[in-house]
């Protein structure tokens, strides 16, 4: 079953179960997917949908931090609950050790050395690990691999 179909089915199930919060989050995801399809005139595949989900999760994490800083724990909790719903659509994440190993292999493969090659390495890493790892963790792994 494609990810797009699974999301659509989950939206219908949330409607039937009258899960308003979950339904709102899934509708927001569907709207972001539709927007991408219309803007770029493409049919989304699973990899593109995972990219959208990743972006939405990052936005929710940033918003939750801002709400915490602004002393609004109620809104921060709402953002965190949306993150939980969205994470269900991501593939199994790689552990920190697996990310470090993959990054080191790519650095060796590209013959990269020093911080000047960070952009080149990140481009390849993003393609290969899209949706499989938190990009903040990946960025830190690339920095450490190029530094040492």
**pLDDT for position 86:** 95
Q: How far apart are CA 66 and CA 35, in angstroms?
A: 26
- Domains in the chain, start-ordered, CATH in brackets? 3-87 (1.10.1510.10), 96-147 (1.10.10.410)
Query: 129 near 102, Cβ under 8 Å?
Result: yes
Can you give the pTM of this predicted structure? 0.76
Per-residue pLDDT reduced to its tens digit, 34-86:
999 999 999 998 888 988 998 999 999 999 999 999 999 999 999 999 999 99
**pLDDT for position 78:** 96
Residue 24 has pLDDT above 80, yes or no: yes
* Max Cα distance, the chain (Å): 55
Per-residue pLDDT reduced to its tens digit, 124-146:
888 888 778 877 888 888 888 88
* Mean predicted confidence (pLDDT) in 87-108: 86
């Amino acid at each position: 079953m494609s990810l797009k179909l699974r999301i659509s089915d989950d939206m219908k199930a949330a409607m039937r179960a009258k899960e308003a919060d979950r339904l709102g989050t899934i509708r927001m995801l569907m709207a972001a997917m539709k927007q991408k399809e219309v803007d770029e005139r493409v049919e989304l595949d699973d990899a593109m949908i995972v990219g959208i989900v990743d972006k939405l999760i990052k936005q929710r994490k940033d918003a939750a931090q801002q709400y915490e800083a602004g002393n609004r724990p109620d809104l921060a909790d709402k953002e965190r609950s949306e993150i939980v719903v969205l994470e269900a659509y991501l593939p199994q994440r790689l552990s920190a050790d697996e990310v470090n190993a993959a990054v080191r292999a790519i650095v060796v493969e590209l013959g990269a050395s020093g911080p000047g090659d960070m952009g080149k390495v990140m481009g390849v890493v993003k393609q290969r690990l899209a949706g499989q790892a938190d990009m903040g963790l990946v960025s830190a792994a690339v920095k450490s691999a190029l530094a040492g």
